């Protein structure tokens, strides 16, 4: 054992790359098998099987593994369609000393949908790519968390700090019952963790510092029901809905034209967006309905806040009541998450950039994600600002038909993650096994 500590040398990068390449077939097989476990959310299929699959592999690498069932009381907000499907978090850990690096990723996937030319749960490998729902978003990320550790072990490195890897459910439906529980239960907070990397697909040559805010809500406008032949006897909330949408165009939309100074990717998402996504009203052709319900999806650039956005909208609703266009309204929040980001000037980010440069020969670029992800639980509830997103998948593949990952991207992600773990946790290195053989 060469007790060699400190920064990685060019030969270390070569050694990691070579070891990752030697594991390519095994890694592809593992990801294919993982993709064959159809873990669609909703409703939350085969979650236990996913955790056992990951846990078994982590145990084979010497990790202490726990599978936690999310307690019933934490599942109160689950949607109707997900009731009765238990939720689990799997955590593997090697090492007992600090510093602690925690890789986390979600193993649930969105429903496959239509227009696939391959079986979305076949785990098919062809033309240097692995296909399947979750290939990019983000079973490749979860698999990479585990294989980065195996690469380090096979390459003869011993980590000084602790390497933790977790698989969580339900990111695709908000994350409260996955990463939210992991953080809320105290298993991942700044008290026990120094660095957190969420392995979502933001491309293997970029790193993500945060995400836009999300404001999902419904508004129920109340009018007065009457006979359809005598509309003046009632108050039609559909007319008020039309008025509401027009006032949004005049009073709110111009403000959404402001471009963010943050590197939100893709560039088309660099402004806030507000879309009315559902309208429900009426039950009979000859009756003026009493209510009209509208649902909205509002995404906020980091310069905006949920509070301000909400106030501007409720002001319009208050005006409609004042002007007697409706009798009253109710606002129901579905998701209210402020924009989230962490500073680039921190050790974790600088280390990742340096490793990316050495491993891939490129200057990795920062991005802010257009949609929210699990990072916010770690930074807000967990108080851990050293939380970023880096994973092997491609953002453009997420939720698409024929979703896939290039095997080269998968290998690159694993190699970069392995190098980052060495730099952050410190290491001892065994003499190169091949040098031994020949010398």
Active site residues: 108, 171
Window of 198-206, 207-215, 291-299, 430-438 that interacts with Zn ion by CB under 5 A? 198-206
**Nearer to Zn ion (CB atom), residue 138 or residue 197:** 138
- Shortest Å, Cβ 146 to Zn ion: 17
- Shortest Å, Cβ 17 to Zn ion: 26
Strand order, beta sheet including 125-126 = 125-126, 129-131, 404-406
**Nearer to Zn ion (CB atom), residue 19 or residue 375:** 375
- Shortest Å, Cβ 138 to Zn ion: 5
Cα(142)–Cα(167) distance, rounded to whole angstroms? 7
Give the CA dihedral 301, 303, 304, 307, nearest 10 degrees.
Answer: 130
**Nearer to Zn ion (CB atom), residue 179 or residue 419:** 179
Residue facing Zn ion at closest CB distance:
137
Enumerate residues 105-144 that contact Zn ion by CB under 5 A.
137-138
**Nearer to Zn ion (CB atom), residue 137 or residue 412:** 137
**Nearer to Zn ion (CB atom), residue 46 or residue 399:** 399
Question: Can residue 179 be called a binding residue for Zn ion (CB under 5 A)?
Answer: no
Q: What are phi and psi of 390, to 5 degrees?
A: -150, 125
Cα(339)–Cα(213) distance, rounded to whole angstroms? 4
**Nearer to Zn ion (CB atom), residue 202 or residue 342:** 202
Window of 12-20, 197-205, 331-339, 412-420 that interacts with Zn ion by CB under 5 A? 197-205
- Shortest Å, Cβ 374 to Zn ion: 8
The residues near 363 (Cβ < 8 Å, ≥ 6 apart) are: 353, 356, 357
- Shortest Å, Cβ 27 to Zn ion: 20
- Shortest Å, Cβ 382 to Zn ion: 19
Looking up tokens 């585990």 gives 146
User: How many residues form the binding site for Zn ion (CB under 5 A)?
Assistant: 3
Cα(423)–Cα(425) distance, rounded to whole angstroms? 6
**Nearer to Zn ion (CB atom), residue 168 or residue 281:** 168
- Shortest Å, Cβ 259 to Zn ion: 26
Enumerate residues 199-228 that contact Zn ion by CB under 5 A.
200
Task: Sketch the per residue contact string, 240 through 279, with Zn ion: x for CB under 5 A, - otherwise.
Answer: ----------------------------------------
Residues lying near Zn ion in the complex (CB under 5 A) are found at 137-138, 200
């Amino acid at each position: 054992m060469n007790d060699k500590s400190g920064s990685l040398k060019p030969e270390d990068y070569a050694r990691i790359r070579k070891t990752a390449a030697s594991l390519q077939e095994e890694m592809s097989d593992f990801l294919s098998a993982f993709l064959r476990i159809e873990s669609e959310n909703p409703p939350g299929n085969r979650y236990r099987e996913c955790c056992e699959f990951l846990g078994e592999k982590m145990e084979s690498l010497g990790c202490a593994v726990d599978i936690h069932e999310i307690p019933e009381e934490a599942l109160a907000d689950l949607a109707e369609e997900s009731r009765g499907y238990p939720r689990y978090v799997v955590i593997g850990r090697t090492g007992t000393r600090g510093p602690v690096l925690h890789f986390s990723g979600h193993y649930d996937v969105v429903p496959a949908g239509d227009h696939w030319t391959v079986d979305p749960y076949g785990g098919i490998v062809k033309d240097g790519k692995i296909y399947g729902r979750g290939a990019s978003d983000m079973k490749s990320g979860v698999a990479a968390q585990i294989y980065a550790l195996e690469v380090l072990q096979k390459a003869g490195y011993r980590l000084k700090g602790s390497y933790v890897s977790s698989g969580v459910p339900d990111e695709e439906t908000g994350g409260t019952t996955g990463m939210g529980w992991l953080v809320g239960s105290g298993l991942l907070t700044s008290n026990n963790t120094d660095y957190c990397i969420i392995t979502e697909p933001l491309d293997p040559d970029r790193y993500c510092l945060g995400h836009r805010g999300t404001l999902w809500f419904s508004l129920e406008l109340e009018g007065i029901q009457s006979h359809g032949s005598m509309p003046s006897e009632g108050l039609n909330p559909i007319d008020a809905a039309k008025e509401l949408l027009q006032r949004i165009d005049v009073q709110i939309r111009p403000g959404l034209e402001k471009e963010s100074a943050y590197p939100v990717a893709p560039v088309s998402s660099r402004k806030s967006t507000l879309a009315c996504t559902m309208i429900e009203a009426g039950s009979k052709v000859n009756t003026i309905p009493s209510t009209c319900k509208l649902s909205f999806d509002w995404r906020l650039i980091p310069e905006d806040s949920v509070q301000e956005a909400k106030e501007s909208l409720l002001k319009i609703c208050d005006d409609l009541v004042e002007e007697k266009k409706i009798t009253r309204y109710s606002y129901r929040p579905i998701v209210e998450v402020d924009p989230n980001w962490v500073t680039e000037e921190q050790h974790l980010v600088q280390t990742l950039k340096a490793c990316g440069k050495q491993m891939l020969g490129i200057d990795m670029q920062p991005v802010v994600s257009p949609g929210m992800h699990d990072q916010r639980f770690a930074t807000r509830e967990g108080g851990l600002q050293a939380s970023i997103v880096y994973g092997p998948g491609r953002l453009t593949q997420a939720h698409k038909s024929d979703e896939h990952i290039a095997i080269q991207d998968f290998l690159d992600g694993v190699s970069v993650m392995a190098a980052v773990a060495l730099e952050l946790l410190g290491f001892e290195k065994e003499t190169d096994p091949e040098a031994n053989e020949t010398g």
